[in-house]
Amino acid sequence: MENMIDLHLHLDGSLTAEEIFILAKQQHLTLPSQSIDELASMLSVSSNCQDLNEYLQTFELPLLVLQTKEALTFAFSHLLARLKNQGLSYVEIRFAPQLHTRQKLSQYDVVESAVYALHQSLLQYQGEIHAQLILCCMRGENNLKQNLETVEVAKAFLGQGVCALDLAGAEGLYKTALFKPIFERAAAEGIPYTIHAGEADGPESIWEAISMGASRIGHGVQSIKDEKLMDYLAEKQMPLELCFSSNLQTRAIASAKQFPLQTFLKRGILATINTDNMTVSRTTLKHEYNLLQQTFLLSPEQNHQLQLNAIKAAFLTSVEKDMLLKNSFCPPS
Ligand SMILES: [Zn+2]
Which has more pLDDT, 45 or 189? Answer: 189
Residue 276's SS3 state is: strand
The 3-state DSSP class for residue 193 equals strand
| Burial category of 126 from C-beta neighbours within 10 Å (exposed 0-12, middle 13-18, buried 19 and up) | exposed
The alpha carbon of 178 and the centre of ligand 1 are apart by a number of angstroms equal to 18
> 157 CA distance to ligand 1 centroid (A)?
21
2 pLDDT higher than 80? no
Instruction: Decide: pTM greater than 0.75.
Output: yes
Q: Is 199 in the active site?
A: yes
Helix (H, G, I), strand (E, B) or coil at 68: coil
Distance 183 CA to ligand 1 centre (A): 18
Q: Is the Cβ–Cβ distance between 278 and 227 less than 8 Å?
A: no
Specify the pLDDT at position 58: 87
Residue type, 178: L
Mean of the per-residue pLDDT values of the chain? 94
Distance 195 CA to ligand 1 centre (A): 9
Spell out a b/e string for 53-77, using b for 16 or more CB atoms within 10 Å of the CB, else e.
eebbebbebbebbbbbbebbbbbbb
First to last CA, the chain: 27
Choose among 152, 165, 229: nearest CA to 195: 165
Q: What is the 200 CA–ligand 1 centroid distance (Å)? A: 11
Asked whether the beta carbons of 14 and 78 are under 8 A apart, the reply is: no
Contact 138, 147 (CB under 8 A): yes
- How remote is the CA of residue 272 from the centroid of ligand 1, in Å? 13
285 alpha carbon to ligand 1 midpoint, in Å?
14
112, 149, 199, 288: the catalytic one is 199
How many angstroms does the Cα of residue 333 sit away from the middle of ligand 1?
Answer: 31
Q: Which of 240, 235, 178, 153 is nearest to 203 (CA)?
A: 240
Distance set, CA 73 to CA 68, 77, 97, 115 (Å): 9, 6, 13, 9
CA distances from 95 to 75, 226, 258 (A): 12, 30, 29
Instruction: Specify the range with the lowest mean pLDDT, choosing from 111-115, 190-194, 197-201, 220-224.
Output: 197-201
State the Cα–Cα distance between residues 306 and 113, nearest whole angstrom: 32
Q: What is the pLDDT of residues 82-131, one digit of tens each?
A: 999 999 999 999 999 999 999 999 999 999 999 999 999 999 998 899 99
- Give the environment of ion ligand 1: residues with CB less than 5 A: 276
**What is the side-by-side strand order in the sheet with 162-168?**
5-10, 90-95, 130-138, 162-168
The 10s digit of each residue's pLDDT in 17-40 is 999 999 999 999 999 999 999 999
